[in-house]
Amino acid sequence: MAATKKTGTKKKTDPKPAASQKPAPLPSHRVEVRLAGSGGQGLILAGLVLAEACGLYDGREVAMVQSYGPEARGGASKAEVIVSEEPIDYPLASRVDILLALTQEAADTYGWDLAPDAWILVDEDLVGHPPTTRAVKLPFTAVARDKLKKPMVANVVALGAIAELTGLVSKRALEKALMARVPKGTEQLNKKALSTGARLAREYQERGTTPPPPPSAADL
């Protein structure tokens, strides 16, 4: 218990107090993020990186849940990250604010309990039929495969797009958390994947698309 107090002290003497680099305010008090796809698409790692970026570097409270079962190998899998300005008592998503779906199966399985104004990002080529027509379709996997020559970084491309579009996490925090989790020797590739995702998102915004409109009857 004494140790807990010590940490409190350490925090105060941190040479880079959170206040000086405070990230943009969260879009709402509590933001629920779900990263969904199939096993092997690296969504657990993406969730870890996002959680650590928000929790360790942006100074938010974060909880992450993922589950595995006999059906998980190859089937739809997901990681959920809750980000809040206050301690989180319930770490499960119940009204998802940001959904990333990298496969059609994931979009079908995990695309139903969304907030009316949720951000829905889907892989343009792998999700032919997104949960709603206002989903943001971006070619995460194609860009990772064709431009970066590493299909496995589609998860990081998607993280870059999420950060750019939603403002959930600061770019600095995301890059720091990413560098701490990726294998040695892949730092440059992963940084490039992150900035490529951000560029995809900016190009999407420049095409004149505005943030998700309020829900219409057609969405419900």
Site for a copy of itself contains 94 (CB under 8 A): no
User: Do residues 91 and 63 make contact, with C-beta atoms less than 8 angstroms apart?
Assistant: yes
Q: For residue 74, state whether it binds a copy of itself (rule: CB under 8 A).
A: yes
Per CB under 8 A, the list member of 26, 35, 51, 114 interacting with a copy of itself is 51
Q: Is 87 in the site for a copy of itself (CB under 8 A)?
A: yes
Say whether residue 7 binds a copy of itself (CB under 8 A). Answer: yes
> Which residue, 56 or 115, has its beta carbon nearer to a copy of itself?
56
What CA–CA distances, in Å, run from 182 to 72, 177, 217? 23, 9, 43
**How many Å is the maximal CA-CA distance in the chain?**
56
Scan for tokens 């004494």, then name that residue. 2
Residue 155 · residue 45 · CB < 8 Å: yes
First to last CA, the chain: 49
DSSP 137: E
Q: Which stretch binds a copy of itself (CB under 8 A): 24-32, 87-95, 199-207, 210-218?
A: 87-95
Residues that bind a copy of itself (CB under 8 A): 1, 3-4, 7-8, 10-11, 18, 38-39, 44, 48, 51-52, 54-56, 59-76, 87-88, 91-92, 103-105, 108-109, 126, 128, 183-184
